[in-house]
Chains A and B, each alone.
Chain A
Amino acid sequence: MTSIGLQHYLLLAAALFCLGILTMTLKRNAIGILIGVELILNAANLNLVAFTRYRTGAIDGQIVAVFIILLAAAEAAIAIAIFMNFYNSLATIDVDRADQLQG
């Protein structure tokens, strides 16, 4: 068996990132989009932690990852508050219905 290196993590993160993009584009439920964002953030975090372990030997990347987790939590809180408003005013959670701004 080959030993696990940086490339493995990068490939996995790339796959996770693409799946996140797919989730964001394919879900019509607003919360599905939020889930897609979480996937993308996780991919980024995975990259950061892998790089910081294999390339620097320091732990600065982990600190940044902590901040990203924090931001993700904050973003989820705000997003869900917005969705609730959205749901209260349109009685649906389908983002395709949120097109009043369309030209």
Chain B
Amino acid sequence: MIDLDLALALGVLIPLISFTFLAFFGSKLPGIVPDAHGHDEHGHELPPDHLHKSDHSHAPAHDAGHGDHHHFPPKEKKPPGGNPLAGYIATAAIATSCLLATYVLVKWVGMAPGQRTAYAAEMAAKHTFHWADLGKLNLSVAVNLDSLTVIMFFMVTFVASWIHVFSLGYMAEDPRFHRFFTYLSLFCFAMLGLLISNSLLFLFIFWELVGLCSYFLIGFWFEKKSASNAAIKAFITNRVGDLGFIVGLMLVIFYLQDVSLAGATAKFRALADDPAAALFTQTFWGVNLATWMGIGLFCGAVGKSAQFPLHVWLPDAMEGPTPVSALIHAATMVAAGVYLVARIFGLLTPQAQFVIAVIGCITLGMTALIAAVQTDIKKVLAYSTLSQLGYMIFGMGVGAWVGALFHLLTHAFFKALLFLGSGQVIAGCHHEQDMRRMGGLRSKMPVTCWTFFLAVLAISGAGIPWSGFGIGGYHSKDEILVVAYHRAYKWFDEVHHSEHHSALSSSEAYAAEPAHGGDQKDSHTTASHGSGGHNSLGAIYPQVPPLPKWMFWIPVIIAYITPFYMTRCWILTFAGKPRDEHVHEHAHEKPIMWVPLVVLAIASVLCASIPFLTVRLLVADAAHTPEAHAPIDKLVGSRVSSLTPAVNGEELHDAHQALGWIVGFAFVAGMGLAWAIYRNGFGFANAIVKSNPLFRGIHTALMRRLYIDDLYNLVLVGGTHVIARLSAFLDKLLVDGLVNLVAALTRVFSSFTGRQLDMPIKAGDIGFVDAIVNGIANATRTVADLVRRPQSGRIRLYILTLAGVAALILASVAFWDQLEALPGRFKPADSKTKTQLSAAIAGGDSLASGAHRDQ
């Protein structure tokens, strides 16, 4: 059968073909032209114009900045909706990719771990295409076949397929239906390409491509000012992060001379063994270049995954259609940042990792708090996405490589489910997004309601403590927390244990390192680095700081807040009494939209529990790829963990048992609190906020997104204005002033000279100065007349002159001897000019081709 890497490459190309086809023919597809009831094959009667009136009927109450509603052009033209054929083509394409991915996944799982490595190496040798050499940089193209790619590829194609199906229903009435699917196909191509890239350069190219698709899709309803602004904001914010990525990439190219993921990691580790390596000894602002390299690359992830300083674009990106929010801004593209960190994990120094952990910690804490006060259903989900991404980045930072990626995968399923559920609600309520107008939708949308609830349980990490039974975050999030706990509390024990620990695990992951020769090498490198590491890795990376305790406790507290705000969201939407009869009355579900919900719900339950065996196992297996061979996870031990929930190894097992008390009941507490406060709608919550000025202040601050957007507005936008004003002022003051001053001086001077020097003695006579001025003018004219002659504007004359001068020069060189021989001519001391010339040319030549003649 087909080789697995080629199958993956084919899976990438199919969406590209679909994109190309749709881009050229999407608007011309022959027509299944839907009439007003065309999409209603399932029996929902939609009065054709009702859709478009209802979203404007509440215009006064509607917050313009939060709407997800369409602004249709006037409807005199048929067809009102898009051509569903375009959607079918795109869906078929991604579904085919998904089948290929399933095939690869099944084959891959069927292999033994050792066999996989051998197979990947064989395929790499067989299918690597050597592209170009740029100096020492060797660029080759190949599919990066490993467990992480396989499982991520499957996840993306699977989620994307069902989101395509959902979009068929969600976008049905949109006039630019085909264009939506064109963009979706392009996105799928770019995202899948990103996953199979084997070098940082190609990763970067696809990285930019997904960013571009994100821009297109956020601004899909570009007639709306807020949507086009959000698209621009997302694009520009991402550029800031990508600048860091480019700087990191340059450092990689300059110092490692290899951009392939495995090659760069290998070079980096080799350099780390060299005490004199410039990458580690040169510093900038007191931090060595290796750390800057890691931080630079991480900046790309900060932009794409919307981490703390650059997180502002993601909530605004909810202006895009909801399937886009589900696919791009929740499940796949924003998670690409985490994927990138996973791939560059081997290029990180402990300091860079610490920066990553801090950024992740800030993001997850701050955004979870903001999520707790949002009233727009999509904004709640957006901030929840930010918080969960913060968890993943934090997990990477503390060395929970496996845990973070595992969380990425489980999160993709349940967050896609949440967003599609919200999309169902929004579409069903005629583009109403404000939870203050919802409530009581349970009876109208039973499927959406209960699948959404399942996703809430998954994101809350619901499970039975100590039993190993739970869904979603129970496994993945807890694994991150366990590793963080370990870093914060058990660190020193671990370092002391690491010597025999590494000897034990060397057969598995570090087989390449001579375990027995470690002591000698250790003492050597330890001495040269002047540090107190306990094994060779500890010596190379001498200062691996233990995690500050607050960096363990913030994620734990947020683990309590997450169930709170998610349950709040669910209660306000589905439970209680309807707060707006009009919205409630017309709410409905469409099968084409709830079927994907059910499928994703099943997937999000299964991915973390039964095929836990597959998903978690594959991620853990991927930890043996070179990129993951970073120093820190060896010391923590998470990489050698395997099947049992979360961890392996005694200390970590104990830690998990202890954490059972700390986070095991978080979901119960959070959900209970939410039920207590929001059971009857907003009344009680508003009362609490009003009861105390402190609460009011906190609430306002959170509603204003902690003033970060305001700060950026003030500093960046305001700063630009200030600079512009300042330059305008300087322009007026200095330049204009100078010009005016000169003019005034000239006027004074000329009036002086005019009166004193240039007084005509008698009529008809001209003054002294006039005479001079006229004289100069006349002289100028004469000269100009002379100069103007050859300036004929005749191009042929110019060429002739040029050729003539060239001929003259060449001839004088060539015929110097003859000229010299003429009587009465100037004779230079050395008269052998011609032979000199000849010798000069021949001499230069002998230098150039000496090697040839010597042979």
Contact = CB atoms under 8 A, between A and B. Distances in A.
When A and B assemble into the complex, do they touch directly, with CB atoms less than 8 Å apart? yes
B793 A55 contact: no
Interface stretch (A42-50, A67-75, A95-103): A95-103
Interface stretch (B136-144, B225-233, B794-802): B794-802
Contacts of B788: 102-103
Contact of A99 (B794, B848, B849): B794
Classify chain B: how many residues form its interface, as a range: 10 to 19
A24 B796 contact: yes
Nearest to B796: A25
B723 interface: no
Contact of A96 (B791, B796, B849): B796
A99 B852 contact: no
A55 B845 contact: yes
B840 to A, nearest CB: 16
B787 interface: yes
Nearest to B801: A25
Nearest to B787: A103
A24 B799 contact: yes
A28 B849 contact: no
Contacts of B800: 25
Interface in B786-832: 787-788, 791-796, 799-800, 803
A98 B795 contact: yes
Interface in B765-786: 784
A32 to B, nearest CB: 10
A25 B799 contact: yes
B317 to A, nearest CB: 42
B791 A103 contact: yes
A55 B849 contact: yes
A102 B793 contact: yes
Contacts of B793: 98-103
A41 interface: no
Nearest to A27: B796
Contacts of A24: 796, 799
Nearest to B798: A25
A96 B795 CA distance: 7
A99 B792 contact: yes
B791 A33 contact: no
Interface in A23-60: 24-28, 33, 55-57
Contacts of A26: 796
Contacts of A99: 792-794
A65 interface: no
A33 B791 CA distance: 19
A56 B787 CA distance: 48
Main secondary structure of the interface of B (DSSP, over half): helix
A33 B800 CA distance: 12
A55 B788 CA distance: 47
A21 interface: yes
B801 to A, nearest CB: 10
Interface in A85-103: 95-96, 98-103
Interface residues of A, number: 18
A26 B794 CA distance: 12
Nearest to B849: A55
A25 B798 CA distance: 9
Contacts of B787: 103
A101 B798 CA distance: 13
B792 A102 contact: yes
Given A24-B796, A28-B796, A56-B849, A102 B791 contact: yes
A95 B794 contact: yes
A74 to B, nearest CB: 20
Nearest to A26: B796
A55 B796 contact: no
Contacts of B848: 55-56
A81 B434 CA distance: 58
A21 B803 contact: yes
A96 B799 contact: no
A95 B795 contact: yes
B387 to A, nearest CB: 54
Nearest to B797: A25
Given A55-B848, A55-B849, A56-B849, A95 B796 contact: yes
Contacts of A96: 794, 796
Nearest to A99: B793
Nearest to A36: B799
A94 to B, nearest CB: 10
Most buried by B among A21, A33, A100: A21
A101 B797 CA distance: 14
- Of A26, A100, A102, A103, the most chain B CB neighbours within 10 A belong to A103
A57 B849 CA distance: 10
Contacts of A33: 795-796, 799
Contacts of B794: 95-96, 99, 102
A72 B793 CA distance: 25
Contacts of A27: 796
A98 B787 CA distance: 19
Contacts of A100: 793
B666 to A, nearest CB: 67
Q: Specify which of B787, B788, B796 lies most central, judged by the most chain A CB atoms within 10 Å of its CB.
A: B796
Contacts of B849: 55-56
Interface string B558-571: 00000000000000
B803 A25 contact: yes
Interface string B89-110: 0000000000000000000000
A95 B800 CA distance: 14
Contacts of B791: 102-103
B800 to A, nearest CB: 5
Contacts of B795: 33, 95, 98
A101 B795 CA distance: 11
Residue from A56, A99, A100 having most chain B Cβ neighbours under 10 A: A99
A101 B852 CA distance: 54
A99 B852 CA distance: 54
B853 to A, nearest CB: 11
Contacts of B845: 55
Contacts of B799: 21, 24-25, 33
A20 B803 CA distance: 11
Q: Quick one: which of B791, B795, B848 has the most chain A CB within 10 A?
A: B795
Nearest to B784: A103
A66 B492 CA distance: 66
B837 to A, nearest CB: 15
A56 B847 CA distance: 12
Contacts of A98: 793, 795
A95 B792 CA distance: 12
A55 B800 CA distance: 33
A92 B595 CA distance: 71
A27 B800 CA distance: 12
A98 B845 CA distance: 45
19 contacts: A21-B799, A25-B799, A25-B800, A33-B795, A33-B796, A33-B799, A55-B845, A56-B849, A95-B795, A95-B796, A96-B794, A98-B793, A99-B792, A99-B793, A100-B793, A102-B791, A102-B794, A103-B784, A103-B788
Given A96-B794, A102-B788, A103-B791, 17 more contacts: A21-B799, A21-B803, A25-B800, A33-B796, A33-B799, A55-B848, A56-B849, A57-B852, A95-B795, A95-B796, A98-B795, A99-B794, A100-B793, A102-B792, A102-B793, A103-B788, A103-B793
Which 10 residue pairs of A and B lie closest in terms of their CB atoms, listed nearest first?
A99-B793, A102-B793, A103-B788, A103-B791, A25-B800, A21-B803, A24-B799, A101-B793, A25-B799, A95-B795
